[in-house]
A and B are shown apart, each in its own frame.
Chain A
Amino acid sequence: MTMTTETAALQNMPPSKLEITELDVHYGATQALFGVDMRVAENSVSALIGPSGCGKSTFLRCLNRMNDIIEGCLVDGNVLLDGEDIYAGELDVVQLRARVGMVFQKPNPFPKSIYDNVAYGPRIHGLAESAGELDEIVESSLRRAGLFDEVSGRLKDSGTSLSGGQQQRLCIARAIAISPEVILMDEPCSALDPIATAKVEELIDELKEDFTIAIVTHNMQQAARVSQYTAFFHLGNLVEFGETEQIFTNPEEKRTQDYITGRFG
């Protein structure tokens, strides 16, 4: 159990979409997270920052049970999605991941057409009743991902033929095509150039109107730009959690200050 500093302004935080309490994660004999308590506010962007190996990606992957597939990984504690424990025995993990989507560090489109990349999720979840309806989902998802105008003439081309930035927006379109409630992003811009990064950041800002977003990033300026709440992890502990503006202008914890100002020894 660790003590996390929560800044005072958090009392005005919107309702929590996800509520995490006393989360411990072990990879075999190694403990990766120590009693993490955190809330992910609805319709907002929460950034997870910290040095490599601090547990932020582990934490993110707990939120849609991606750690289940890692051998020797043991998750203990509670993760409530709208008040419902996602680690409860009866929960359908496939349904969970439809509600909590994910975008990864490296764009990973399927080796299929642009259209099929986006249509894949709605098809397997039976979200479209007709070909016309599927077309609509694909178009609206691509539009919301800010990609439609760039690819509308070549939806039959392979997803892998796109540029890196376009591929990442395609992956975001694919994630939102099944209308998830939460989108987890693990370093979504680290493989992108500044222009593609700016487009994805602009997109994140728009997406928070409809989705709850949690993003892991090593780029602190990015965390400061896109998020409303920031959590600083260090050595498996959540050190400080607060409003982004306060974390980056006047953090309460010395370790947070040292990290964000580039003084980590």
Chain B
Amino acid sequence: MPEHTVKRYDEELDQMTGTILRMGGIVEQQLARAIEALVKRDPELAASVIADDEPVDQLEHEVDQLVTRLLALRQPMAVDLRLITASLKISSDLERIGDYAANVAKRASSLSQVEPMRPVAVIPRMSQIVQTMIKDVLDAYMARDAEKALAVWRRDEEVDETYNSLFRELLTYMMEDPRHITPCTHLLFIAKNIERMGDHATNVAETISFLVTGTPLDEARPKGDTTPFATSPDDTGGSQD
């Protein structure tokens, strides 16, 4: 894309996208470290993840200000307008991802006080998918790559499926022994948080697709979380719609 005649306009747009990418970098790290804190049962690491919420909120606030300024002073059109409105949405999705990561860290901290649970092993696998989604969606934003965004969008189904099987597994443990209920509930919320992060990464992917093409994605979004309909561990096989 050629540069704007007014160079300062390009600098302001670069500043906005740069701020988003910094936010993205922090939340990506937040998720990775929250999971590490869970696996290594490390409350100090968990505390540092929670503390990172502050800079993320700060950056979101900066994006808000930059966007308002650009809209007021530059009267953006077409692709510039889409980039600016997309960035505003993406920053709020990233901020939510950061919040969920902090919540995972809080629960990891609580779990480090009790006996280790077996299904903890599934969570890093699930988280790995979501971390890659976040990374790819940020790359897609930087490169304005609609194809890459679409690939992330499609991967969300995998996250939902992993969440479904984990949900089933955790219910089984809780039925086995009521003493498992507290740690399993924490794990279930952790898994739900990660699943929600995947949804926000998917939102970002949709936003990027619109930013690049100018038209909303017309495919129906893949929806794989069947647990809202579950009444027993056997209900989450994923066959019902």
Q: Do A and B bind each other?
A: yes
A residues engaging B (CB < 8 A)? 220-221, 224, 248-251, 257-258, 260-265
Min Cβ gap B4→A in Å is 5
B1 touches A249 (CB 8 A): no
A263 touches B5 (CB 8 A): yes
| Interchain residue pairs with CB less than 8 A apart (20) | A220-B77, A221-B75, A224-B77, A248-B77, A248-B78, A249-B81, A249-B82, A250-B78, A250-B214, A250-B215, A251-B78, A257-B78, A257-B79, A260-B78, A261-B4, A261-B77, A261-B78, A262-B4, A262-B9, A263-B2
B76 at the interface (CB under 8 A from A): yes
> How many inter-chain contacts with C-beta < 8 Å in the A-B complex?
39
Question: Which chain B residues (58-82) contact chain A, with CB distance < 8 Å?
Answer: 75-82
A263 touches B4 (CB 8 A): yes
Min Cβ gap B211→A in Å is 11
Assuming the contacts A250-B214, A250-B215, asked whether A262 and B78 have C-beta atoms less than 8 A apart, the reply is no
Question: Which chain B residues (1-55) contact chain A, with CB distance < 8 Å?
Answer: 1-6, 9
In the complex, which residues of chain B have a beta carbon less than 8 angstroms from the beta carbon of A262?
4-6, 9, 77
In the complex, which residues of chain A have a beta carbon less than 8 angstroms from the beta carbon of B215?
250
In the complex, which residues of chain B have a beta carbon less than 8 angstroms from the beta carbon of A265?
2, 5
State in angstroms the CA–CA spacing of A248 and B80 once bound together.
10
B2 touches A249 (CB 8 A): no
A249 touches B76 (CB 8 A): no
State in angstroms the CA–CA spacing of A250 and B210 once bound together.
10
Min Cβ gap B206→A in Å is 16
State in angstroms the CA–CA spacing of A250 and B212 once bound together.
10
Write the chain B residue with the least CB distance to A260.
Answer: B77
User: Which of B4, B82, B215 has the most A CB atoms < 10 Å from its CB?
Assistant: B4
User: Which of B2, B78, B80, B214 has the most A CB atoms < 10 Å from its CB?
Assistant: B78
A249 touches B9 (CB 8 A): no
Min Cβ gap A117→B in Å is 35
State in angstroms the CA–CA spacing of A263 and B77 once bound together.
11
| Smallest CB-CB A-B distances: 10 pairs | A250-B214, A260-B77, A263-B2, A261-B80, A262-B4, A261-B77, A257-B78, A263-B4, A248-B77, A261-B78
User: Which of A260, A262, A264 has the most B CB atoms < 10 Å from its CB?
Assistant: A262
Instruction: Select which of A224, A249, A250, A263 is within 8 A of B3 by beta carbon.
Output: A263
Min Cβ gap A261→B in Å is 5
State in angstroms the CA–CA spacing of A261 and B75 once bound together.
9
In the complex, which residues of chain A have a beta carbon less than 8 angstroms from the beta carbon of B75?
221
Write the chain B residue with the least CB distance to A258.
Answer: B2
A264 touches B77 (CB 8 A): no
Write the chain A residue with the least CB distance to B3.
Answer: A263
State in angstroms the CA–CA spacing of A221 and B75 once bound together.
8
State in angstroms the CA–CA spacing of A224 and B9 once bound together.
20
List 6 additional contacts besides A250-B82, A250-B214, A263-B4; criterion CB under 8 Å: A221-B75, A249-B78, A250-B215, A260-B77, A261-B77, A263-B2
State in angstroms the CA–CA spacing of A249 and B214 once bound together.
8
State in angstroms the CA–CA spacing of A264 and B3 once bound together.
8
State in angstroms the CA–CA spacing of A5 and B4 once bound together.
24
Min Cβ gap B216→A in Å is 11
Min Cβ gap B130→A in Å is 31
In the complex, which residues of chain A have a beta carbon less than 8 angstroms from the beta carbon of B9?
262
Min Cβ gap A96→B in Å is 36
In the complex, which residues of chain A have a beta carbon less than 8 angstroms from the beta carbon of B77?
220, 224, 248-249, 260-262
State in angstroms the CA–CA spacing of A264 and B1 once bound together.
11
A263 touches B78 (CB 8 A): no
Min Cβ gap A259→B in Å is 9
In the complex, which residues of chain B have a beta carbon less than 8 angstroms from the beta carbon of A261?
4, 76-80
State in angstroms the CA–CA spacing of A248 and B82 once bound together.
11
In the complex, which residues of chain B have a beta carbon less than 8 angstroms from the beta carbon of A221?
75
State in angstroms the CA–CA spacing of A264 and B2 once bound together.
8
State in angstroms the CA–CA spacing of A165 and B216 once bound together.
42
In the complex, which residues of chain A have a beta carbon less than 8 angstroms from the beta carbon of B5?
262-265
State in angstroms the CA–CA spacing of A249 and B84 once bound together.
12
In the complex, which residues of chain A have a beta carbon less than 8 angstroms from the beta carbon of B2?
258, 263, 265
Question: Which chain B residues (77-95) contact chain A, with CB distance < 8 Å?
Answer: 77-82
State in angstroms the CA–CA spacing of A249 and B9 once bound together.
18
State in angstroms the CA–CA spacing of A248 and B75 once bound together.
11
State in angstroms the CA–CA spacing of A251 and B5 once bound together.
19
Min Cβ gap B82→A in Å is 7
Min Cβ gap B79→A in Å is 6
Min Cβ gap B196→A in Å is 31
In the complex, which residues of chain A have a beta carbon less than 8 angstroms from the beta carbon of B214?
249-250
State in angstroms the CA–CA spacing of A186 and B136 once bound together.
49
In the complex, which residues of chain B have a beta carbon less than 8 angstroms from the beta carbon of A257?
78-79
In the complex, which residues of chain B have a beta carbon less than 8 angstroms from the beta carbon of A248?
77-78
